[in-house]
Amino acid sequence: MPPSRPRLTLAACSATMQYDHTAIEGKWQQAWRERNTYRVDQDFTRPKFYVLDMFPYPSGAGLHVGHPLGYIASDIVARYKRHKGFHVLHPMGYDAFGLPAEQYAIQTGQHPATTTEVNAARYREQLDRIGFSFDWDREVRTSDPDYYKWTQWIFLQLFDSWYDPRADQARPISELIARFETEGCRGQDASVLTGDIEEFVGEFTAAEWKAFDERTRQMVLQHFRLAYLSEAWVNWCPALGTVLANDEVKDGVSERGGHPVERKRMPQWSLRITAYAQRLLDGLEGLAWSESLKEAQRNWIGRSEGASVRFPVGDDFIEVFTTRPDTLFGVTFLTLAPEHVLVGKYTTDAQRAEVEAYVKQAKNRSERERQAEVDRITGVFTGSFAKHPFTGEDVPIWVGDYVLAGYGTGAVMAVPGGDQRDWRFAKHFGLPIIAVTDGADIDKEADERKDATICSEGFLKGLKVPEAIRRAIDELEKLGAGEGRVNFRLRDAAFGRQRYWGEPIPIYYEDDIPRPVDVADLPVRLPEIDKYQPTETGEPPLARAKDWTYKGFPLETTTMPGWAGSSWYFLRYMDPGNTERFASEEAVKYWGPVDLYVGGSEHATGHLLYFRFWTKFLYDRGWLPFDEPAKKLVNQGMIQGVSKKAYALAVVSHSTVAIDAESRLIDTKQLPLVLVPKRVYDSWAELSEADRDAIGNVESMLREVGLERCPGASGYVTATSSFEFHVDIQLVDDKSNELDIDGFRASRPDHANAILLEDGPYVTVNEVDKMSKRWMNVVNPDDIIARYGADTLRLYEMFLGPLEQSKPWDTHGIEGTYRFLRKFWNLFHTGNSGVEPVASTHRVDHDSFLVTDDTPTKAELKVLHATLKKVEEDIERMSFNTSVSQFMIATNELGALKCTKRAVLEPLVVALAPFAPHIAEELWEQLGHAESVTTAPWPAHDPQYLVEDSFSYPISFNGKTRLQLEFPATLGKEEVEAAVLADPEVQKRLEGKPPKKVIVVPKRIVNIVV
């Protein structure tokens, strides 16, 4: 069967036809490129399957073996689905905006786009070498203006939308304006989510709305827009002129440079994700995502039911949220967050100095610190009192930093008898504590039980908690002092960054009123600037741009956060070249939503929440026909690194006397590093005499070394303890763990004089850590591929264990999968199989290639079909490690059967193709096919070949297996029982006594109870 197109040749193929991964993989990667094997067309008629990977940020470090794990799994599914006849979309791109490129730009002046380009090219090279079936024509990069044009467009859609509580969906802002013009703003509409705190906009009539000036109208609308500008609390660092993220602040100073940081309220762009809280929660129900991930999102959204209660203060009131309105009669004080807007208003003159001082210091503690230091109870009395809505009694108003400004209303009604935090605050400041529940021991702690009976005086006394909650809410509503309410922990997302390397926000300011850039003028391109740092006046880098204006008005200078572009990229892959729309209606309708999404669990509450939020929003506004982006999601586990640890003496030097020079301390850094065995490190407290002597010897030797370096000083050197440290895995022999001492000395200047406590090889100790540069345990896939090939790498990553589980990378084990591929190859070749060509052989052009058209035996067909069945089932449940095992079993068994038959081997090539595409293509071609193996239909297993004639029953006594008896598979329960009991060996074990009971599970087991 001659191929229909010229065949590429395998230059490195020798006559004996050994498995040569380098030649095969090079040949096929080139062929795939040239033949566009993985191009996905716009045929919208076939059944589709969309397999998506979380795209990477192209960092300068390149890929390590942990990165491609998920990509390999998804690639197997993509290829498998293609064999199954699906039209498969399996794209890849880059999350190209990000901090590292910007930091690098600040240091070197190199444009982040250049760095990104270089890094992406390196990623591409590495990815290509692994043999993925990505359609690179569909690559997206978030930093590409043709891409971020649509990110900006979506932002403008958000800006142009509000969340209509009546329709429970996002609507155009024009509809809100129309409503204001006819109905004004009243009741529920007037109380809207502004993200941080429930805020009352204020009611107005239609006539009043019409009388508002433009500025006022726009201010009002800001309270409703889904992308809005508002005052928000930020970590402001005046010295750096920038806002810092929570993790960039430590102990009130910036992590970089140690400059003071203060909490400051600044205008910030935010997205009103809180409007979607309930739908984001409800939508989780139908998703095939892992339970732990869904749980993480539920926790993050943090829905709680309760009531809002208003405590009158003079002619105003303080509103609190509580989940326990049943404890209202136990309220003994109110606590406001230090940031609460009413703190100033309710502070009496007598208390003002104290309160202001407290607020100032509390505000400047970062949120993280405030949350970490639970034991530090601080607060101050404002001097004012509120009225209890039920009893009318005075309730003192305190300020305490245990109350968070960003949750609920930023104020709590304190019930020390029922809430432990309130209890501790009350104890600390000597405030009264009222028992609210029967059986509470309020001298010891608050009683937070939710199944108790209320005992505090009032109309709730004697009621069970759930009933008391309902009753309390009824009363509050009757009095107009509050109502039932649902509260969420989720906060609106800050959307502005004081950075250069991100999407410009397409907003300009006309007399300080934010206005959207016309859609026709998108994208707003990132300007060229001279330096990538904030300006001298503390403005973001974009303020450096010349003429950063639109229609003569200043443009917004902050840029979007990293997650903007990744919130919708899955849509762009569907139609990446579209200039009219983010993706065509047909493409979106056909390809969406994603059928399988694979990525790391670290994105559980960041990316994956925004990703769902944007999808729901675009759905609301009619741009998408679905409102969840990914039906199924799988988190791949982390591949950990095995690091090598060494141990050394911690050496201290002292100088005592100086004869003819000034007294000098020998710098311990100048002393050689003394490597000691782990034994010494472990048993430092009780060292053996031999070890102590050895250390003593080294000390005296060190003393001389030290003194040589400090002429005139006489001192002594002592080893006070030992410490552990990581050494580069490159310097350690994989098998023996012996350290390459010379290499170690050459690796760093301060290791140059390293010496050993004991003669002989130095043996390091394994430890499993995260794979990272820091632990010097990074394994590069390029090295693995050079040695074993991409197919081996792919198989091994899958073979390592269940996809979702974290597991350490151990290069040793790879030999097994490499051996498997060679054995598989040898099934098709005479090279090393020991099978000599015979006369009937149908030979295909390579010398050693030997596959016959003989009729396979029953045993051979059984191996084949058992494998096809197992592999298909395993791919469907993403259990790739077990499918690799099955291939190994099949290969071992067919090898033992000396099977060289096409009818058996050919289907196996197709089944293996998703896992090891290069070797499969090569064998497929050698089998005489002109078309790529990727076009072959999936070989279905035929159950008839798996039917067993007989079954070997394990015979157990009281559940313990004692012997095996083989019976025809057709035998029924009773027949098996009879046959078993007739067996002499069984009789012998029964010792003539009749069995109590005999359980026969056909084709499984026989259990005899005696």
User: Please, which of residues 213-272 interact with RNA by CB under 7 A?
Assistant: none
Q: Applying CB under 7 A, does 987 fall inside the site for RNA?
A: no
Shortest Cβ 963–RNA spacing (Å): 8
Among 312, 743, 802, 928, binds RNA (CB under 7 A): 802
Are 409 and 380 within 8 A, CB to CB?
A: no
Nearer to RNA by Cβ, of 605 and 747: the residue is 605
Question: In terms of CB distance, is 376 or 551 closer to RNA?
Answer: 376
Residues forming a β-bridge with 302: none
- For RNA, what does the binding mask look like between residues 726 and 755, x meaning CB under 7 A? ---------x--------------------
Angle 367-369-371 (CA atoms, 0-180°, nearest 5)?
70
DSSP 3-state of 316: strand
Residue 473 vs 526, nearer CB to RNA: 473
Shortest Cβ distance from residue 985 to RNA (Å)?
A: 10
**Token pair listed for 338:** 């230090």
**Residue matched to tokens 């005296």:** 700
Q: How far is the CB of 486 from RNA (least distance, A)?
A: 11
Residues recorded for the chain = 1010
Pick 156 or 1000: Cβ nearer RNA? 1000
Within 809-838, which residues bind RNA (CB under 7 A)? 810, 812-813, 815-817, 819-820, 822-823, 832, 834
Q: What is the identity of the amino acid at 614?
A: W
State the minimum distance, in angstroms, from the CB of residue 187 to RNA. 24
CA distances from 672 to 635, 645, 652, 668 (A): 46, 18, 12, 8
Strands 411-414, 394-400: pairing is unpaired
Smallest distance from RNA to CB 887, Å: 8
Q: Which residue has the tokens 């070498």?
A: 129
Within residues 960-979, the interface with RNA by CB under 7 A covers: 960-962, 964
Q: Which is nearer to RNA, 337 or 633 (CB)?
A: 337
Nearer to RNA, 64 or 829 (CB): 829
Work out which of 61, 897, 979, 1005 binds RNA, going by CB under 7 A: 1005
Residues in binding contact with RNA, number by CB under 7 A: 88
Residue 385 pairs in a beta bridge with 396
The H or E element that residue 308 is part of is strand 303-313
Nearer to RNA, 712 or 813 (CB): 813
Q: Which is nearer to RNA, 27 or 870 (CB)?
A: 870
* Min separation Cβ 702 and RNA, Å: 36
Task: Return the structure tokens found at 367.
Answer: 């949120």
- Residue 40 or 460: the one with the smaller Cβ distance to RNA is 460
- Subset of 415-444 contacting RNA (CB under 7 A): 419, 421, 424
Q: Nearer to RNA by C-beta: 89 or 986?
A: 986
Quick one: 776 or 803, whose CB is closer to RNA? 803
Least distance CB 834 / RNA (angstroms)? 7
Closer CB to RNA, residue 374 or residue 969? 374
Tell me the C-alpha distance between 463 and 474, whole Å.
14
62 phi-psi bin (left φ>0, alpha ψ -120 to 50, beta other) = left
**Which residue of 39, 654, 692, 1004 would you call a contact of RNA, by CB under 7 A?**
1004
Restricted to residues 266-325, the positions that interact with RNA (CB under 7 A) are 290-292, 295-296, 299-300, 302, 304, 306, 320-324
Burial grade of 805 (CB within 10 A; 0-12, 13-18, 19 or more): exposed
Q: Write down the least CB distance from residue 404 to RNA, Å.
A: 4
**Binding range to RNA, per CB under 7 A, among 187-195, 674-682, 803-811, 854-862:** 803-811
* Residues 581-610, interacting with RNA (CB under 7 A): 601-602, 604-605
Q: Where in 116-155 is the site for RNA (CB under 7 A)? A: none
Give the strand pairing for 639-658 and 807-808: parallel
Q: Which residues contact 122 (CB under 8 A, 6 or more apart)?
A: 58, 62
CB of 729: closest distance to RNA in angstroms?
16
Task: Yes or no: say if 562 and 549 are a contact pair by the CB < 8 Å rule.
Answer: no
User: What is the closest distance, in whole angstroms, from the C-beta atom of residue 723 to RNA in the complex?
Assistant: 20
Write the DSSP string, 260-282: B-EEEEEEEEEE-GGGGHHHHHH
Q: What residues between 496 and 515 interact with RNA by CB under 7 A?
A: none
Structure-token pair, residue 320: 């609190």
CB of 403 to RNA, least distance (A): 4
Q: Which two tokens stand for residue 891?
A: 């290969």
Residue 176's φ and ψ, nearest 5 degrees, are -70, -40
Calpha distance 949→192 (Å, rounded) = 73
Give first-to-last CA distance, the chain, whole Å: 66
Residues 512-541 that bind RNA (CB under 7 A): none
CB of 416 to RNA, least distance (A): 11
At its nearest, how many Å lie between RNA and the CB of residue 730? 20
Residues 452-491 as x/- pattern, contact with RNA by CB under 7 A: -------------------------------------x--
Angle between helical axes of 99-108 and 112-130 (0-180°, round to 10)? 130
95's CB contacts (< 8 A; 6+ apart) are 55, 56, 57, 142, 562, 565, 566, 569
The position carrying tokens 């245990």 is 402
Question: Least distance to RNA from the beta carbon of 325, Å?
Answer: 8
C-beta of 484: minimal distance to RNA in Å? 13
Buried b / exposed e along 376-409 (16+ C-beta atoms within 10 A): ebbbbbbbbbbbbbbeeeebbbbbbbbbbbbbbb
Query: How far, CA to CA in Å, does 964 sit from each of 969, 972, 997?
Result: 14, 17, 19
Query: Quick check: 91 and 135 in contact, CB under 8 A?
Result: yes
Closest-CA residue to 291 (of 566, 595, 604): 604
CB of 377 to RNA, least distance (A): 6
Who's near 648: CB < 8 A, 6+ residues apart?
673, 674, 675, 676, 722, 723, 725
Nearer to RNA, 79 or 370 (CB): 370
- Separation in Å, CA 526 to CA 76, 545, 556: 39, 9, 12
Q: How far apart are CA 849 and CA 900, in angstroms?
A: 10
Looking at the Cβ atoms of 584 and 811, the one nearer to RNA is 811
- How far apart (Å, rounded) are the C-alpha atoms in residues 145 and 113? 11
Nearer to RNA, 419 or 556 (CB): 419
Between residue 849 and residue 888, which ones bind RNA under the rule CB under 7 A? 879, 881-882, 884-885, 888
Q: Which of residues 322-381 bind RNA (CB under 7 A)?
A: 322-324, 337, 370-371, 373-374, 376-378
- Whose Cβ is closer to RNA: residue 420's or residue 697's? 420
* Residues 923-952 contacting RNA, CB under 7 A: 952
Minimum separation from the CB atom of position 891 to RNA (A): 8
Residue 382 host element (H or E): strand 379-387
3-state DSSP call for residue 1003?
A: coil
Return the number of the residue (684 or 796) whose C-beta is nearest RNA.
796
CB of 699 vs RNA, minimal distance in Å: 36
Binding residues for RNA restricted to 881-910, rule: CB under 7 A: 881-882, 884-885, 888-889, 892, 895-896
> Closest CB to RNA among 545 and 889?
889
x-or-dash string of contact with RNA, 379-418, rule CB under 7 A? ----------------------xxxx--xxxx-xx-----
The 3-state DSSP class for residue 600 equals coil
